[in-house]
């Protein structure tokens, strides 16, 4: 079993009159257990050059009903450039330049893919990684 931790720190001295300094750490476990997630896609990087909606993580391939963790970061430095994240055609949100997200993903059904659509055809770099407990092995 592997031990992988994800730590978030939210900081601001001026978004409210009380200083925001929140730090939380999670150890990434298989769903409902204290056994560490032990597989990963590795950190991937793609430079997108079209505004086509693409499947970033395919729920069927990765195994329906999983308890994966997904990281996606928009590495553009142009503030106007974003990628739209959807799950089964439901828009979750936009990741603007420099933004990242880290969420659980349960791959609830065959249509529950995580998809991404860039806002621009200019080169837009995105990094992404999934940490999971196994994928569906299919015959060649």
- 129: which DSSP letter? E
- Residue 3: which of 41, 44, 35, 33 has the closest Cα? 35
Looking at the Cβ atoms of 15 and 50, the one nearer to other proteins is 15
| Among residues 56, 62, 87, 124, the one that binds other proteins under rule CB under 8 A | 87
The answer to whether residues 76 and 99 touch, using CB atoms and an 8 Å cutoff, is no
Looking at the Cβ atoms of 22 and 140, the one nearer to other proteins is 22
- Shortest distance (Å) from residue 128 CB to other proteins: 11
CA dist., res. 37 & res. 39, Å (int): 6
Q: Does 20 bind other proteins (CB under 8 A)?
A: yes
- Whose tokens are 């086509």? That residue is 52
- Shortest distance (Å) from residue 80 CB to other proteins: 5
- Written as six digits, the tokens of 75 are 């590495």
By DSSP bridging, strand 100-105 and strand 44-48 are unpaired
Q: Does 52 bind other proteins (CB under 8 A)?
A: no
Give the interface with other proteins as residue ranges (CB under 8 A). 2-16, 20, 22, 24, 26-29, 31-34, 37-38, 40, 42-43, 67-68, 70-71, 73, 79-80, 82, 84-85, 87-88, 90-96, 98-106, 108, 112, 129, 131
């Amino acid at each position: 079993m592997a031990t992988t931790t994800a730590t978030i720190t939210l900081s601001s001295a001026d978004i409210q009159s009380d200083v925001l300094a929140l730090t939380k750490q999670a150890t990434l476990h298989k769903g409902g257990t204290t056994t560490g997630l032990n597989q990963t896609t590795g950190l991937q990087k793609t430079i997108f050059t079209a505004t086509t909606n693409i499947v970033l993580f395919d729920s069927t391939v990765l195994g329906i009903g999983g308890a994966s963790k997904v990281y996606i970061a928009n590495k553009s430095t142009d503030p106007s450039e974003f990628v739209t994240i959807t799950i089964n055609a439901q828009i979750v949100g936009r990741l603007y330049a420099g933004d990242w997200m880290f969420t659980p993903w349960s791959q609830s059904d065959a249509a529950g893919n995580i998809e991404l659509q860039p806002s621009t055809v200019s080169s837009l770099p995105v990094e992404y990684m999934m940490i999971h407990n196994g994928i569906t092995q299919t015959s060649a």
